[in-house]
C-alpha cells in the first residue's frame, strides 16, 4: 500500500499562548512548592516539635543541675540563665526510631508487598538522614533491587545443564539481568542527591526504567520451558520482582501527594529542549530532503556511499559522539541482522521510503531460535529515530514467532516506517516509544511487548495466516499494576490487508488479548473497518486469565467495527469518557515534550479537542 505523505509541521505555539503558559508555569510552580512544603511539614512536623520539647527539657535539667551544684536553688527563669552552649545534636541523634518508622509505613502502605517494603527500608536506611531528605528511602529501595539482581545473576551462572535449549535460556537470562542492572544503576544516578521537591522532575525516567526492569525479569523467566530449571530461576527472580514493584509503587506514593505535578512539572516548558535534541535535529526531521540532510555516513548497496551494509556503518560510528549521528540508507533490500546497541545513543537512520529502504531477515521460532532473538532489527540506544524505512521478517506464517523489529530504546521515534511480518511483527519491548504515520502488518499478537508506546496516524493491517488461526493485533505484557506501560492506538486505521479481504469470513480478528496479568491497551479515535469481531477482544488461550485485572479501553472509535455494543463484558474492559481518555494522550502518557522538541509531528492531546 502506498505510504501517506509526511505530516507538515505547523507552528504550535504563538506569542500569546507562550505568555499565558509561562504565567501558568510560574503560578503553578509556586503553588507546587507550597504543596510540597505542606506535605513534608505534615509528615515530619512532629519531629521538630518533639526535638524542641526535648531540648527545652534538657535545658531545664541543666539549669537545675547547675543551681544544685552551686548549693542553691535557681531563683530565675531558665531564659535568664541559659545553659552553656553545647555541640549541635545530629539528625540521627534527634530522631526517635518511631518517627522514621511512621514515614516508612506511610510510603509502604500503597505497595503490593508492604511487609517486604517496610523491612527493606527499616534495615537499610539511616533514618535521621532520610527524614531530612525522604528520597533517601527511595534510593534504599532501588539499591535493594541492585543487590538482589547480583544474587539472581550468581544463581543463573551456577545453573548446569546439557540441554541446548536450557543453555540458551540461561544465556538469555544472563543478558537480561545485566540489562536490568544497567537500568537500576541509571535510576540510582538519577535519585542520588535529588531533593523531594525536585523528585517529580525525574519521575518519568524512573517509571520508564524500573518498568523495563520488570520486563527484563519476566522475559528471563519466559525463556525457560516449564520444569525444574525454570522453578529454580523463578524462585530466585521473585524477590527482585517484588522489590521492583515496591519501588515503582513508592514513586507513586511520593507523586500522589503532589497534585500539581501533571499540570506543571510533567509538562515542563514547551520551549525547553532536552539535551539530546539540537536545532540540526529539528531541521532534519522537518524534511526528508536528503540533499540537505548532511549525514555522517551513507549506506548504499551499489557502492555509491561510504558503506555497503548498515552494520559496517554502525561499526564506524564513534562510541562517544556529541550531538545526533545521522546515517542515510539509500534504497535497497538489506538482508542483515542489525543491532543498535546501548552505546550508540542519539542515532537517526533515514531511508528513501518505507518500501524502498528495507531491512529484512527470516529468523523464527520454527528454526529453534528464541523469539527474543528472532528480530531482524534491534534498537537499544537511547533516543533512536528512524524515518522512511521498512523492517521485515519474511519467515511467513509457518515460522510462527518471527520478529521484524525489537525496540527497547527510550524516547524512540519512528516516522513513516513500515513493519511487516506475521506473528510477533513489532516487539515494542520496553521504555517510551512513539510511532507516527507508520504501517504495521501481521497476524497474531503482531504488536506486543511491555513498552509505553503510542501509535498515532498509523495504518494497522491484519493479514491472512495459517488456516484456523485467529488474528490479534496486540498482546501487551504489563505484569505489575504500578508499571507505567501500555499501548495506545490513536487516530489510526485498522483494516484487512489485501490478502485477507477475500477470506475474512475464515479468520476471526480481534484488537488484542492479554499476554500478562495487567495488560493495558487503549484504542481511541480510530477507524475500525469491518475486520474486527464484534466482541473486540480475545481471551488468552480460552481461559479467564487477566480478564479482571487487565485494562482494555475504547473511546470514540468509528467505522463498521467501531461499535462497542457487543464488546466483551469483562471487568477489565471499559468504554471510557473523554476525561479518562485524556490520561492516555501523548502528553501525560509519554511526557511528550521530547517528541515536540524533536520536530516530529505529534498530537499531544485528543483529536476531538
The radius of gyration computed from the CA coordinates of the chain, to the nearest angstrom, equals 28
Q: Which of 474, 210, 223, 180 is nearest to 372 (CA)?
A: 223
Distances (CA, A) of 464 to 471, 491, 497, 528, 601: 9, 24, 8, 17, 32
Per annotation, catalytic residue among 445, 450, 480, 593: 445
Spacing of C-alpha 424 from chain mean position: 20
Number of residues in the chain: 609
Strand ranges, E, within 380-533? 385-387, 390-393, 405-407, 412-415, 418-420, 426-428, 432-436, 439-442, 444-449, 452-456, 459-462, 471-476, 486-490, 493-496, 509-512, 520-524, 527-528
Q: Is 588 exposed, middle or buried (0-12, 13-18, 19+ CB in 10 A)?
A: middle
For residues 228 and 226, give the distance between their C-alpha atoms in angstroms, rounded to a whole number.
7
- Clarify whether 445 is annotated catalytic: yes
DSSP state of 524: E
Report the distance separating Cα 432 and Cα 377, nearest Å. 18
Coil vs helix vs strand at 72: coil
In whole angstroms, what is the distance from residue 265 CA to residue 286 CA?
27
Parallel, antiparallel, or unpaired for β 444-449 and 426-428?
A: parallel
Pairwise CA distance, residues 431 & 210, whole Å: 9
Is the separation of the CB atoms in 384 and 405 below 8 Å?
no
Q: How far is it, in rounded angstroms, from Cα 447 to Cα 423?
A: 9
320 alpha-carbon distance from chain centroid = 25
CA distance 279 to 260: 31
C-alpha distance from residue 15 to each of 244, 596, 609 (Å): 44, 17, 21
Q: How would you class 53 by CB atoms within 10 Å of its CB: exposed for 0-12, middle for 13-18, buried for 19 or more?
A: exposed
Could you list the active site residues? 445
Amino acid at each position: 500500500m502506498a505510504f501517506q505523505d509526511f505530516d507538515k509541521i505547523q507552528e504550535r505555539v504563538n506569542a500569546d499562548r507562550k505568555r499565558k503558559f509561562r504565567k501558568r508555569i510560574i503560578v503553578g510552580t509556586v503553588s507546587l512548592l507550597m504543596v510540597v512544603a505542606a506535605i513534608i511539614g505534615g509528615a515530619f512536623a512532629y519531629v521538630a516539635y518533639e526535638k524542641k520539647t526535648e531540648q527545652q527539657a534538657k535545658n531545664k535539667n541543666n539549669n537545675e543541675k547547675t543551681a544544685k551544684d552551686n548549693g542553691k536553688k535557681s531563683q530565675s527563669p531558665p531564659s535568664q540563665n541559659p545553659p552553656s552552649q553545647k555541640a549541635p545534636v545530629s539528625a540521627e541523634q534527634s530522631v526517635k526510631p518511631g518517627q522514621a518508622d511512621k514515614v516508612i509505613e506511610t510510603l509502604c502502605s500503597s505497595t503490593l508487598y508492604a511487609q517486604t517494603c517496610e523491612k527493606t527500608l527499616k534495615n537499610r536506611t539511616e533514618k535521621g538522614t532520610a527524614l531530612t531528605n525522604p528520597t533517601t528511602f527511595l534510593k534504599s529501595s532501588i539499591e535493594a533491587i541492585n543487590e538482589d539482581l547480583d544474587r539472581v545473576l550468581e544463581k543463573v551462572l551456577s545453573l548446569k545443564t546439557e540441554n541446548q535449549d536450557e543453555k540458551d535460556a540461561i544465556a538469555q537470562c544472563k543478558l537480561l539481568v545485566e540489562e536490568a542492572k544497567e537500568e537500576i544503576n541509571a535510576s540510582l544516578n538519577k535519585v542520588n542527591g535529588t531533593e523531594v521537591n525536585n523528585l517529580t522532575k525525574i519521575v518519568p525516567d524512573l517509571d520508564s526504567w524500573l518498568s523495563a526492569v520488570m520486563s527484563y525479569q519476566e522475559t528471563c523467566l519466559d525463556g525457560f520451558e516449564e520444569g525444574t530449571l525454570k522453578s529454580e530461576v523463578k524462585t530466585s527472580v521473585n524477590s527482585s520482582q517484588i522489590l521492583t514493584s515496591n519501588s515503582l509503587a513508592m514513586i507513586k506514593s511520593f507523586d500522589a501527594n503532589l497534585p500539581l505535578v501533571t499540570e506543571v512539572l510533567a509538562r515542563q516548558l514547551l520551549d525547553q529542549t532536552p539535551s539530546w535534541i539540537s536545532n540540526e535535529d529539528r531541521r532534519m526531521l522537518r524534511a526528508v530532503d536528503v540533499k540537505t540532510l548532511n549525514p555522517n555516513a551513507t549506506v548504499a548497496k551499489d557502492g555509491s556511499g561510504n558503506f555497503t551494509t548498515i552494520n559496517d556503518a554502525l561499526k564506524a560510528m564513534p562510541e562517544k559522539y556529541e550531538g545526533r549521528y545521522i546515517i542515510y540508507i539509500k534504497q535497497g533490500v538489506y538482508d542483515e541482522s542489525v543491532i543498535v546497541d546501548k552505546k550508540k545513543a542519539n542515532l537517526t537512520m533515514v531511508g528513501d521510503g518505507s518500501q524502498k529502504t528495507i531491512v529484512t531477515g527470516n529468523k523464527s521460532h520454527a528454526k529453534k531460535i528464541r523469539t527474543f532473538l528472532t528480530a531482524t532489527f534491534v534498537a537499544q540506544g537511547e533516543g533512536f529515530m528512524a524515518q522512511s524505512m521498512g523492517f521485515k521478517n519474511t519467515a511467513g506464517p509457518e515460522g510462527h514467532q518471527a520478529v521484524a523489529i525489537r525496540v527497547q530504546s527510550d524516547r524512540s521515534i519512528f516516522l513513516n516506517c513500515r513493519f511487516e511480518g506475521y506473528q510477533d511483527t513489532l516487539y515494542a519491548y520496553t521504555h517510551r516509544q512513539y510511532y507516527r504515520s507508520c504501517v504495521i502488518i501481521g497476524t497474531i499478537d503482531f504488536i506486543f511487548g511491555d513498552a509505553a508506546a503510542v501509535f498515532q496516524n498509523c495504518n494497522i493491517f491484519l493479514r491472512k495466516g495459517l488456516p484456523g488461526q485467529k488474528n490479534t493485533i496486540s498482546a501487551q505484557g504489563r505484569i505489575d499494576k504500578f508499571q507505567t506501560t501500555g499501548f495506545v492506538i490513536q487516530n489510526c486505521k485498522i483494516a484487512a490487508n489485501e490478502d485477507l479481504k477475500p477470506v475474512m469470513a475464515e479468520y476471526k480478528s480481534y484488537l488484542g488479548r492479554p499476554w500478562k496479568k495487567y495488560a493495558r491497551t487503549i484504542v481511541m479515535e480510530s477507524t475500525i473497518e469491518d475486520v474486527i469481531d464484534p466482541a473486540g477482544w480475545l481471551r488468552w488461550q480460552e481461559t479467564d486469565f487477566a480478564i479482571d485485572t487487565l485494562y482494555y479501553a475504547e473511546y470514540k472509535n468509528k467505522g463498521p467495527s467501531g461499535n462497542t455494543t457487543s464488546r466483551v463484558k469483562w471487568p477489565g474492559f471499559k468504554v471510557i469518557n473523554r476525561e479518562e481518555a485524556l490520561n492516555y494522550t501523548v502528553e501525560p502518557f509519554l511526557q511528550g515534550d521530547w517528541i515536540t522538541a524533536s520536530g516530529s509531528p505529534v498530537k499531544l492531546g485528543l483529536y476531538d479537542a
